[in-house]
Structure 1
Amino acid sequence: RKRRNIVLLLDGTGKEFCDKNSNLIKLHTVLKADEDQFLYYSSGLGEFRWAVKDRQTHANTQVLSCRPALALRNFDDFVCDAYAYLMDYYTPGDHVFIFGYSRGAY
């Protein structure tokens, strides 16, 4: 089996996809999710999530986006959700890349 990349982008600032994106959002927009690379982005606290799955490539990317007051989250949830994603998709031999900013780097 070919080794896959699993990329976790943990942005702790509550940044959104907008005019003033964080470097992690910029990184997410240039990376490609496919059968060999899985992407996970979390904007941090106070967010809700949606998952996107490409039916043709079976690629999975999960994007968590900040939406104030919809679903406040605590730091433990922030960390546990990223870890759960990793455990769902990791198989021995995969390469794991974790990038964090602010609380996301903790």
Structure 2
Amino acid sequence: MKKLSLVFAVALASFVSLSAQAVDQREYHKDVIGKDCKTCHDQGLKNYPSDQACTQCHDVDELAEQTARSEEDKWQNPHNNLHYGKELPCIECHGEHELKKPMCSNCHTFKYDKHK
């Protein structure tokens, strides 16, 4: 009976470790990053990526230009806004493994229809 319990425990541990490694990754990052998690997780695999990891590929000025709004709403730009300018940490709104709602939605009602 003890052998059966031991075999069951080892099998269960194997399944758990396999499922922990099977994380979702956005399609548009798969070609660039592949399976090298350390490309983004530059502060260790159990920590969020730094902004420097994101800006290796994403230019903040280009993002601010792409998400610019009309003159009346110009400070509602998520990449250059009234509160944080261009200094808002990327992980406040973006997540690789799970969707996040934009931080601005905590207080404001305007929408970011193209948010990913």
Bin of the TM-score, shorter chain as denominator length: under 0.3
Q: Compare CA radii of gyration and give the structure with the larger one.
A: 2
TM-score normalised by structure 1 residue count: 0.25
TM-score normalised by structure 2 residue count: 0.24
Higher share of residues assigned strand: 1
Higher share of residues assigned helix: 2
